[in-house]
Chains A and B, each alone.
Chain A
Amino acid sequence: MLSKTSAYIVSLLTILSVASLPASAVQSPVGCNSNRLALTLSRDKITVQRGDVLTYTIMLSNLDSGPNLACDIDTATVTLTLPAADGTATGQLVTLTTTGNYPAGTPITLIGTVPYTVNVDDGVVDASAEAEISGVLHDAPTDHSAQISKTIGTTILADSTPPSEEPSVPSTPSPTASSLPGMPNTSSRL
């Protein structure tokens, strides 16, 4: 009698504990076996001078590759850290999204462009920027983290004109991308 009661209580507790598991932690799509997130950081110029505007572009994808089946990624934050005055990627942080969703099959997708007015100290010959994505990977009943960071440098050429007493480089922070997109052109694709 007691063993039956014990079995009943154990079963009840098991059901209750399983029912309380978070519903969002599942492998998705079922059978996926890879973290296929890919991040691309590029800039529109190879060499610049101080005061030039450099535009960074951040793209990503989450595509299958042969037997490597991509798992969904969501709740992703995508950021770009601009060059600091010393040229290292430790300057202004630009957040492109904190709610990104990149399910399996996401083609190469433009996440954002960030203009940056080159504003490094005199004598600095290289300016680096770093893009980073951090999201939730739905690869197993327990979710895991999907993180990538990419860096790109740009050569800074010496000023072509003799520096004046007052630097021509703007002292205000560089312009940054708006995190909100423009309205889509929903006329037609035909």
Chain B
Amino acid sequence: MKRALWITAITVLIGGSAGIVALHFHQSKPIQTFQSIEQRDRSRPKFSKMASPSRFIIPSLGIEKSIIGVGLTPNGDMDTPPDNDSLGWYMNNPKPGDSGAAVLAAHAGPPENPSIFQRLQSLKKGAVIKIEDKSSNIALFEVTETATYQPNTAPRERIFGKTKEPRLAIITCTGEWLPSDQTYSDRFVVFATRKL
């Protein structure tokens, strides 16, 4: 008897819920429901939030190097890592993987002693870049474009400026070696957007 009562109660509950749901769908205009789903999805972060970056990996080039935070030099340029074996992450901009433009820089090394980062110049559109943060989360980026600029005329807004989507810009040296200045004539920039 008790069991019969339970079954009846559950049946009524399920039936009632189904009726309410059916009534709701009947009354709602499909476009409004779709829009509300779109709005809900827009408000939800597309990607997981990242901690400070620690490793930079490009499987296709065999690069796996550490990342350290950098600020500015006294003349207002983005600073660089203290060696040719790691990348500098500009800490005044977002973390790689977070919304906005994350910027990394790596030394190409002098012509007689090139660093592994000269390989960046062979990157093609569609190549995958991995960034691992210090909590071992990984963000995957896809190369969208590469470009060469002179340092004084580079589009700094495009490289460092605000963006809605998580974006990555990786800067290294390229062009002609200028012995008197101990630097190269140009800067090579890899642009990538987050995919995962």
Contact = CB atoms under 8 A, between A and B. Distances in A.
Contacts of A23: 48-49
Interface residues of B, number: 56
Interface stretch (A80-88, A106-114, A120-128, A156-164): A106-114
A2 B88 CA distance: 60
B77 A184 contact: yes
Contacts of A168: none
Contact of B76 (A99, A103, A177): A177
Question: Helix, strand, loop or mixed for chain B's interface?
Answer: loop
A29 B69 CA distance: 16
A110 to B, nearest CB: 4
A109 B69 contact: yes
B51 to A, nearest CB: 6
B62 interface: no
Contact of A184 (B69, B149, B171, B182): B171
Contacts of B183: 185, 187-188
A117 interface: no
A106 B69 CA distance: 7
A180 B49 CA distance: 24
A107 to B, nearest CB: 8
B79 interface: yes
B71 A111 contact: yes
Given A110-B72, A112-B92, 17 more contacts: A29-B134, A99-B94, A109-B69, A109-B72, A111-B92, A181-B72, A181-B160, A182-B75, A182-B76, A183-B159, A185-B80, A185-B151, A186-B173, A188-B84, A188-B107, A189-B84, A190-B84
Interface of A: 23-24, 28-29, 59, 72, 74, 78, 96-97, 99-103, 106, 109-113, 177-178, 180-190
